[in-house]
Amino acid sequence: MDKILRINMSGADGPQWAIEPLGAYAGLGGRAMTSTVVAAEVPPTCHPLSAENKLVIAPGLLSGSAAAMSGRISVGCKSPLTGGIKEANAGGQPSQMLARLGYAALILEGAPQEDTPYKVVINKDGAFISADNSLRMLGNYDLVEKMKAEFGGKVGCISIGQAGEMKLAAASIAFSDMEQRPTRHAGRGGVGAVMGAKGVKVIVVDDAGAPMRPPKDPVAFKAANKAFVAGLRKHPVTGQGLPAYGTNVLTNVVNEAGGYPTRNFQTGQFEGASRISGEALAELENNRGGEGSATHGCHRGCVIRCSGTFYDKNGRFLTKQPEYETVWAHGGNCGIDDLDAIAQLDRMDDDFGLDTIEMGATIAVAMESGIAQFGDAQGAIRLLEEVGKGTPLGRILGSGAAVTGKVFGVERVPVVKGQSMPAYDPRAVKGIGVTYATTPMGADHTAGYAVATNLLSIGGQVDPLSPKGQVELSRNLQIATAAIDATGMCLFIAFPILDQPDTFQSLLDLINGFAGLSMTADDVTALGRTILKQEREFNSAAGFTKSHDRLPEYLSKEALAPHGVVFDVSDQALDEVYNF
């Protein structure tokens, strides 16, 4: 990847594009690229929906190569939801395709003169941008079908649904999967609203004629890739649990640990957990059958295959296998134990272009306000329909849990920096609470997945109910995660590399064999720290202080059943997370 595609939507004669050399951005990929560009080019105090903000889409360092698990993509901007810097991550096909076309980043900047949806086509000959009013307010599924009909069955799509066009702060960006379905989303932080503000409805990527990226040292690369895959398959999580039951394998685990947020974080266990667990979901999918039903990869090169395909009662495709976070958000957090209803909500989120975590948390806040009742699956579906229609209520809900809580006078609103907390209650899993509080991204479990050590004893063991050791755990994981996000690797590789030193070494050998480098573990740490430092500096310039690195006050006062615990990591300790 030796170039950047920059598209300026502000031209008086319409959008203009240019291909640029990497320059100061040479050697960067994924989150390292998105955060570096945003920190260097976006005014921290700008309005997130203004022409001054930029949307950066970047494949990882290893994307487009034969490296296993290397098809993740990063999306960066100033977030409409948090007001700070944002990196949202997704699977799907476009990362590999953009990388094979040679693009280390696609940067959307400016804003169009008129309210017209644009489509962008990127291929080996460059970029082609055209206004297309027939795309207006299409859902992602109809939109991608339209692009397939126009450009064929081998292109990849990056798109927004109605929520992105309406510039709602919970809007996601969809990335098409191997079957050309818009099921993989850069969900968090409202990145879809920024794409909508740029006037871009869909980006079609056609890598026909583009070769796979070759390694600098083919022999070393091939050997390292083989060893790396063997390490992934040897670990019980990536080799057994995730392939068999998907990410939703965590439902029973977290529920039994008493850290499963239920009915808007009122308790830590859900009585209906077994009915929506990974085991129950896999059994349902296997019984219904269909291609890729219980195991499926989200991009080519995936060997963990923790995804699946959900078919309805009549055997028709409905959605990808709902992820753990989605099942929790629309399930236990709303008191719903119906997998078919949860899958329907997941399909609607993907079609409208909405973050499932944010929307599940928002609906739970709305339920607490009395707009609907906990456990009312059809009521949840009706609320989500309001968002897709863009009604006044729908626009409130589509703005996220923080806004919804303010509008309807709810005190228990589980957000940090305006972003909803995911599926682990920080009172019972205190390491993830530290991550929620201190990551520059707003409440985000993937920024430093302390659940691995707190509950699964991966990479050691830190008592989830004690404040002791949580700061160090979260700090180290945030550093490591930032570096992994730069490679284009799936975050789930963290399980074996934390437990198996030889697998971590094979990852280093893989990177070095591909790029002709001699990176060490210390270099990985330095990369992660550099990324976090510039993200923190951006947020500081945007007005964030240590007071923003806090959880909602009620979590330190309301004891969580069944353990009767509160979040008791001190403010002083939280302020020490970034003392590196």
- Identify the pLDDT of residue 294: 64
- Identify the pLDDT of residue 190: 98
- Identify the pLDDT of residue 291: 73
Average confidence (pLDDT) over 505-509: 97
Q: What percent of the chain is predicted at pLDDT more than 90? A: 93
The Cβ of residue 547 has, within 10 Å, a number of other Cβ atoms equal to: 7
Q: Which fold has domain 3-205?
A: Aldehyde Ferredoxin Oxidoreductase;  A, domain 1 (3.60.9)
Q: What percent of the chain is predicted at pLDDT more than 70? A: 99
Q: Which fold has domain 260-425?
A: 1.10.569
- Indicate the pLDDT class of residue 292, thresholds 50, 70 and 90: low
- Identify the pLDDT of residue 308: 86
Q: Indicate if the pLDDT at residue 297 is higher than 90.
A: no
Question: What pLDDT, in 10s, does the model give residues 54-94?
Answer: 999 999 999 999 999 999 999 999 999 999 999 999 999 99
Question: What pLDDT, in 10s, does the model give residues 14-23?
Answer: 999 999 999 9
Cβ-based burial of 288 (10 A; exposed 0-12, middle 13-18, buried ≥19): middle
Q: What share of the chain is helix, strand, coil (3-state, %, to 5)?
A: 45, 15, 40
Average confidence (pLDDT) over 396-413: 98
The first and second tokens of residue 575, run together, are 């302020």
- Indicate the pLDDT class of residue 298, thresholds 50, 70 and 90: confident
> Using an 8 Å Cβ cutoff, are 508 and 246 in contact?
no
Q: Indicate if the pLDDT at residue 234 is higher than 90.
A: yes
Average confidence (pLDDT) over 361-377: 98
Torsion of Cα atoms, 525 then 528 then 533 then 536, to 10°: -140
- Identify the pLDDT of residue 580: 87
E strand or H helix at 334: none
**Whole-number Å distance between alpha carbons of 411 and 402:** 10
Average confidence (pLDDT) over 332-353: 98
- Identify the pLDDT of residue 290: 75
Handedness of CA 466, 471, 476, 477 (dihedral sign): positive
Mean pLDDT computed over every residue of the chain: 96
The first and second tokens of residue 427, run together, are 């009172």
DSSP codes of every residue in 96-131:
HHHHHTTEEEEEEES--SSS--EEEEEETTEEEEEE
Q: Where are the domains of the chain?
A: 3-205, 260-425
Query: Model-level pTM?
Result: 0.97
Q: Indicate if the pLDDT at residue 302 is higher than 90.
A: no
Question: What pLDDT, in 10s, does the model give residues 550-562?
Answer: 999 999 999 999 9
Q: Indicate if the pLDDT at residue 275 is higher than 70.
A: yes
3-state secondary structure 264-314: CCCECCCCCHHHCCHHHHHHHHHHHCCCCCCCECCCCCCCCCCECEEECCC
